[in-house]
Structure 1
Amino acid sequence: MTATATQRAQLFRLPDLGEGLTEAEILAWRVEVGDTVEIDQIVVEVETAKAAVEVPIPYEGTVLTLHCEAGTVLDVGAPLISIAAGSVEDAVVEDAVADEAAVYDAVTDEAAADDRYREEERAGSGNVLIGYGTGHAPATRRRNRVKARATAPQPEPAAASAPQSPDSIKPPRVISPVVRKLARDNGSDLHRLQPSGPGGVIRRADVAAAIDQAQQPAAVPVAASPVIVEGIERIPLRGMRRAVAEKLTRSRSEIPDATTWVDVDATELLNTKAALQAAFPDRPVGLLALLARICVAGLERFPDLNASVDTARGEILRYRHVNLGFAAQTERGLVVPVIHGAHRLTTARLHAEAARLTALARAGQIPPAALTGGTFTLNNYGVFGVDGSTPIINHPEAAILGIGRIIDKPWVVAGQLAVRKVTQLSLTFDHRVCDGGVAGGFLRYIADRVESPATLLADL
């Protein structure tokens, strides 16, 4: 192997995808072994806890190796794809060197690697979607170390019958802090796990297998073939689905929430929507945009609900800006796009921004930044044909407003019974940031503006 050959392949690792993300699932490869790629060409689509992301590559050449299959969950920094700058024959040796270097880095300095990953989790990385990995030593230096290690004399293996003292038992080799946390949260003993990674590194799949085995019912000692329980489908919580589950669980466990609701006559709100569409056919305004405008006005009058709680410091963070999240149903599940700076937008622009973000979310192309930073969430679950709900707060926000379906109901107007368009509003709020008086005042304000939208002009 010549020095030129060892420089002809590049190992591309799963890049830092930003927003504090530490892993991603491979959805689909856009290239195959033997394909020619260019710099910044999309080579793979991955799904993170925030959204589906298309990953470009910073190298050009021929695809040498795809290091994982679709459906694999990888930690940031894990080998993703190898690219040969020259011929495939020249790069085969190089790819082996790169893999061996990765193994060497994993097993020779586990503690340093773990600290490095933890620092990156705290500080974030500047190499967002650049692909050089985060915190990795230069490849040339690693290869030199691997060569030196390969040529060094190896010690004779100890006799199989020799007992091991406690001091001689090697600690488990774990690189990713995600794996450590998964094991710790589920009570898995890393010393008892069988590693499947290169060089004896314990991978996420090893911990997951141990957790799954621990949850299985004890086997019945009968002289028959193993019993297979039918009718049970195991669906892994991954990507956005797992992120939603974790956020809602955290909301329920952390936030002392309470819910209050009221039925309102939305007839005039629908009339206002129709009037705006007739007056400005080139600038559509939907019901969600009108409700968003009312919510923004309500939050400016009741800022206690436009907040979050810093539990570590024991402080309430009250925001002067309104980043309005709204629930959107997609094929990948429920997501909450965020209209940043909603307090600065007109009603027509609120509609346009909501439509744009919804289209991106349903296409699986919404950027992670558009799913974070919300200060209040609006949830129109009436589109599912239900009247009411007790919505769960979108952690770490302090409140969420839910709107049920609008249907014809008997309603008293000026002392007379009439048929009106009625809906139910539900407000779930964090009781740490305000009491029922503030929450009730906000909800009543919203209800009054829904029933008489013209009164909103006084606050604009």
Structure 2
Amino acid sequence: MAEVREFTLPDLGEGLTEAEVVRWLVKVGDVVVVDQPVVEVETAKAMVEVPCPYGGVVTARFGEEGSELPVGAPLLTVAVGEPLPAGAAAPHAKDSTSGAPEGRGAEGSGNVLVGYGTQAPAARRRRIRTPAGGPAVPPPAPAPVPDPATRAVISPLVRRLARERGLDLAEVRGSGPDGLITRADVERATAPAEHRAAEPAPGRGGLQDAGAARRIPLRGVRGAVAEKLSRSRREIPDATCWVDADATELLAARRAMNAAGDPKVSLLAVLARICTAALAEYPELNATVDTEAREIVRLSGVHLGFAAQTDRGLVVPVVRDAHLRNAAELSEEIGRLTEAARTGSLAPAELTGGTFTLNNYGVFGVDGSTPILNHPEAAMLGVGRIAPKPWVVDGELAVRQVVQLSFTFDHRVCDGGTAGGFLRYVADCVERPAVLLRSL
């Protein structure tokens, strides 16, 4: 006797109610073990692999790749139970995505499966019994060992990129540690074909046929960002001020910090430390607005978000309790979160709960910007590129490393005087890093 248990899409946290099926990791008839990842899904926060709490044989899958499923919807059914004597027909199953049985027993009887493992008590259950006099079913074979090239791919984004470009990862030699296949490996393997596909047709100036418009669904991370930015524009009366600052001394201070040979401190981490010092001087900017209660809520801790561009769009990882960290600790945490953002492995909790955002758009080679606030936050500091420019120093013209700083704020939370004071404090720290010593 075997027992079939249904595994539903679990609650992925942070109020998420649905997820898109990106890739199935198992097929009907595969043997799975407890906590084995069975499907890769994308939520509005991150891409995650969902492990199955049961061990046994997969009898059905629900949801095609690219479809969206609500939390609580069936993902898989798995046959579990005590292994029966060996020497009988192989198990058969029905894949719910096609609706057709994959096979039947020797006498045309119903599908018979057997599995093993432990199960969660809350799962819905149904039982399948071996027909009287029917053949016994052998215990399932051990789970197949993944192909080495596939097993060496850690990032779900790399697998997805390879799938979109029609690349068989088994044919790719990874350049990373222990044969890890990286995004660069996939791009390198598909570059010639991509280049040919991108060549413009004669006489069209590089444009595709005007009738061949491409529609891209606003789902997952891109859809969540679109909704948040739209809501920010609708609800928040924002304003922006900016100032140019001489960052020459800041760059010199960072070089001195990194000269000792310890782990390097990133420039973004130094700017993050300046932000937390400025918020200590102007705590009214670490706030949000409760529109229903018509109240400004000043927050005690600084959870610093920073904008990161990834293959899946713009994400804002959050450094928890940034006000309690020094520059070295901020650098370490920012580095960890940035790598997780690039590989799509950020947990939903690492993308929510920010109270203030640092937006380093200078990495795109631009000087200034008037960004949209990260709802429901009340303020954002923008940092442009640092470039050599003429600057007056002690009455003499000199070439200095200059950066444009912008500050976007919710005008309901403060007026222009407070916003200007905050931005001027940040600029003073950039121009004279010793100002930070007052808050250390």
Report the TM-score when normalising by structure 2. Answer: 0.72
Q: Does 1:49 align with 2:30?
A: no
1:293 equivalent among 273, 276, 284? 273
Partner of 1:31: 26
In the alignment, residue 379 of structure 1 is paired with which amino acid? Answer: N
Question: CA–CA distance in 1 between the matches of 2:94 and 2:278?
Answer: 65
Output the CA distance in 2 between the equivalents of 1:240 and 1:354: 20
Q: Distance in 2 between matches of 1:248 and 1:374?
A: 15
- What CA deviation, in whole Å up to 9, does each residue of 1:242-277 have, x standing for no partner? 000000000000000000000110000111111111
Deviations 1:158-181 (A, max 9, x none): xxxxxxxxxxxxxxxxxxxxxxxx
Report the Cα distance in structure 2 between the residues aligned to 1:10 and 1:72, rounded to whole angstroms: 22
Q: State whether structure 2 residue 330 is matched by structure 1 residue 350.
A: yes
Amino acid at match of 2:234: S
For residues 73 and 46 of structure 2, what CA distance do their matches in structure 1 show?
19
**Please, which runs of 5 or more residues in structure 2 have no aligned partner?**
98-117, 129-208
CA contact (8 A) 1:427 1:443 kept: yes
d(CA) in 2 for partners of 1:259, 1:453: 24
Cα distance, 1:314 vs. partner? 1.1
Which of 351, 372, 389 is 1:409 aligned to? 389
Pairing partner for 1:231 from 212, 216, 219: 212
Corresponding residue SS for 2:58: strand
- The structure 1 residue matched to 2:9, chosen from 3, 14, 20, is 14
SS in 2 for 1:359: helix
Are residues 1:278 and 2:259 paired?
yes
Secondary structure at the aligned position of 2:385 is classed as: coil
SS of aligned partner of 1:404: strand
Structure-2 separation of matches of 1:137 and 1:359: 36
User: More strand per residue: 1 or 2?
Assistant: 2
List gaps (5 residues or longer) in structure 1.
97-129, 144-227
The structure-2 alpha-carbon separation of the partners of 1:275 and 1:35, relative to structure 1 and needing over 3 Å to count, comes to same
Aligned residue number for residue 109 of structure 1: none
Larger relative helix fraction: 1
1:377 aligns with 2:321: no
- Does the alignment pair 1:257 with 2:238? yes
Say if 1:84 and 1:266 are closer, same or farther in 2 by CA, change over 3 A: same
Equivalent residues of 1:12, 1:132 under 8 A apart: no
> Are the aligned partners of 1:36 and 1:60 in contact in 2 as well (CA < 8 Å)?
yes
Match of 2:61 among 55, 66, 78: 66
- Quote the offset at 1:90 in angstroms: 8.1
Q: Where does residue 437 of structure 1 map in the other structure?
A: 417
**Which residue of 289, 308, 319 maps to 2:288?**
308
Runs of 4+ with deviation above 4 angstroms? 86-96, 130-133, 136-141
Within a 5 Å distance, the mapping from 1:326-405 to structure 2 comes to 326-405=306-385
CA distance in 1, matches of 2:92, 2:8: 17
Cα displacement (A) at 1:436:
0.5
Residues 10 and 229 of structure 1, relative CA distance in 2, 3 Å threshold:
farther
Tell me the residue number matched to 1:248. 229
Task: Count the aligned residue pairs.
Answer: 334
Q: How far 1:137 moved relative to its partner?
A: 8.8
Q: How far apart, in 1, do the equivalents of 2:80 and 2:401 lie?
A: 67
Equivalent residue letter for 2:333 = E
Is residue 82 of structure 1 aligned with residue 77 of structure 2? yes
TM-score (norm 1): 0.69
Deviation sequence 1:341-370 (CA, Å, 0-9, x none):
101111100000000000011001010000
How far did residue 283 of structure 1 move?
2.2
Deviation at 1:139, TM superposition (A): 4.3
Identity of aligned residues (%): 62
**1:318 partner amino acid:** R
1:426 aligns with 2:421: no
Paired residue type of 2:330: L
Go from structure 1 to structure 2 and tell me whether the alpha carbon gap of 1:370 and 1:94 turns closer, same or farther (over 3 Å shift).
Answer: closer
Residues 131, 442 of structure 1: alpha-carbon distance in 2 compared, 3 angstrom cutoff: farther
In 1: Cα distance, 2:72 partner to 2:281 partner = 47
Residue aligning to 1:150 = none
- Kindly report the root-mean-square deviation, in angstroms, between the aligned alpha carbons of the 2 structures: 2.5
* SS across alignment from 1:15: coil
Change (3 A) 1:266 1:94: closer
**SS in structure 2 of the partner of residue 282 of structure 1:** coil
